[in-house]
Structure 1
Amino acid sequence: MNAKVSGLRETFGTHTRGFIVALVIAAAATFLSEHYAAPVMLFALLIGMAFHFLAEDESCRPGIEFSAKTLLRFGVGLLGLRLSLGDVESLGWVSVLAIVGFVLATLGCGVLLSTLLGRRSAFGLLAGGSVAICGASAALAIASVLPKHPSREEDTLFVVVGVTALSTIAMIAYPILFQAMGMNDLESGFLIGATIHDVAQVVGAGYSISDEAGVVATFVKMLRVALLPVVMVVVMVSFRGSQSQKVGLPGFLVMFVLLAILANSGLLPDDVIAAVNELSRWCLIVAISALGVKTSLAKFLHVRPSYAAILCVETLFLLLIALAFVKWVGV
């Protein structure tokens, strides 16, 4: 018992400094957002980037990593309480099927581009999966079931850096683009959830527009994340080399779905839902702040030209087919 308590204290101690850094940045971003009527997520990201040097500090790194990953996933899971049946019904089954189509088309685009540029099909699946599903997380997951190769680790690193760069740019640029195109909150939320790579940037971009756009963007993003196990199985079967790997749904996705069901059951008091929603909001702001601290602009300049071309074209391809769907079919 004493050993467990000591272990918890040690873990808490190693995470404290980095977490406090992210929390202070989140508080500063919230203050600026309330006084200057600008997106709090954008402030959190930009202020965090100014403190990137702390990501290399051994005393802060564990807390920063915890805030950017574990706290983010916990905050996203809590967002399930904000999802109403009306949000799902407002999208419709056609939009849900479109998300599946976007993922498949982007995977195909990745394999085709990789072949045309003289890269291996495995890299095409790695890059396509990261763009189509959930950025760096998908890249790491897919890489774990690809057959071993001398350059696998290097390829994965380049994809992680590339999609993180593109996702960060998209978080800032897409809300401006969609609003300039006259998209309403539902359409903007759908497009953000369907096109931005990483979960953190989807949440940041969605809530920079409005709460409604943020909830819709998160729901759409969860649909894409739910396809990760399916894609991993397809990759395993395609290469027939890693079939013993176990594939499961991410825990935060399961949490999101369960809380969404609970919220729509009418069993929870409104005060409880409001309190949890506020907790979720702070978790996400702190997580985005930590993500900003982790973001190194210098690393974005070291992506190979051919890799960068594949990732950029895939990102543009996904954006264009999503825009075409909203324009010609609607959500």
Structure 2
Amino acid sequence: MELANKFEHTSATTREFTFEFLEQITDNFSDEHVIGRGGYGVVYKGVLENGEEIALKKLHYMPGLGDTQFRNEFNNLMRAQHPNITRLVGYCYHLGHQRIKYKGEYIFAHVEERVLCFEYLQGGSLDKHISDESCGLDWQTRFKIIKGVCLGLNYLHNGSKDPIYHLDLKPANILLDKNMVPKIGDFGLSRLFPSAQTYITINIIGTPGYMPPEYIDRNEITSKYDVFSLGVIIIRIMAGDEGYSKCAHMSSQEFLEHIHENWRKQFQGTMLSHTSDQVKTCIEIALRCVQVDREKRPTIAKIVDELNKVSNFGSKPALNQNTVSGKHLD
């Protein structure tokens, strides 16, 4: 079978599970083990023989699309092994028959079960942690999450000869471990492209609010698709959903000053220079990422470079709290 051939050269650390074993560790995929639901499947929690907790994504049966979804996610996760990308523990592709009683007689129906097994991440998904500046995560945790997501995306775009475009980056698809280290997950819509060019797709599939205008209007896919999604994510991490809604009604400079001032208030006048630089840099990056003209959006490599420059925590003189950088936002 063609799909089975795709799995011949898997990593030694990626196991092939039997469907019966996965049924056993999830009490037959009971509701008590459900930890998430999505458009393509249900996620369950299970525990392996060695005590390792895993998350099992059992895909809904969708002829054709199910194969595509499963194959995309499996192959791209096998290629993308990075600290900020969810680790694939194993998989199950089960073909069988099920006995069903129909009009007083038993028939045997064809059954396909597809399950992807991931490391279980105790922090849950990022969307559960998004809040405005006045509550929730502190700045350093938010900055660590922003940088980690960027490092993971940079690996997808530049970590191998052929770039991987995620195409569904959003807070629900970013998971956090117990130390709040972010890991990009859910590669069901991801695509592997032979080179960094512009591609035209027939079907519009994605999440409203995270899709760039050139994709909505002209079905165009480039690396800047993920960059646009990243910009929306960064703004939501820094300002919450309410803060993001204000972005559309302010100029770039007004929004930068507004968010910076909110964070300055959170520090109660004690914001250090490097922290102020981080806040401003992240806002500026995010605003460039969501530019309508994709040519004005930075590459993910450029974004990582900018974040690295403000990641060092050297002792610097305190910032004049009444000033905000007037950098040009293009």
Identify whether the pair has TM-score above 0.5, normalized to the shorter chain: no
Larger helix proportion of the pair: 1
Shorter-chain TM range is under 0.3
Higher relative contact order (CA 8 A, sep 6+): 1
Larger strand proportion of the pair: 2
TM-score scaled by length of structure 1: 0.24
TM-score scaled by length of structure 2: 0.24
Structure (1 or 2) with the larger CA radius of gyration: 2
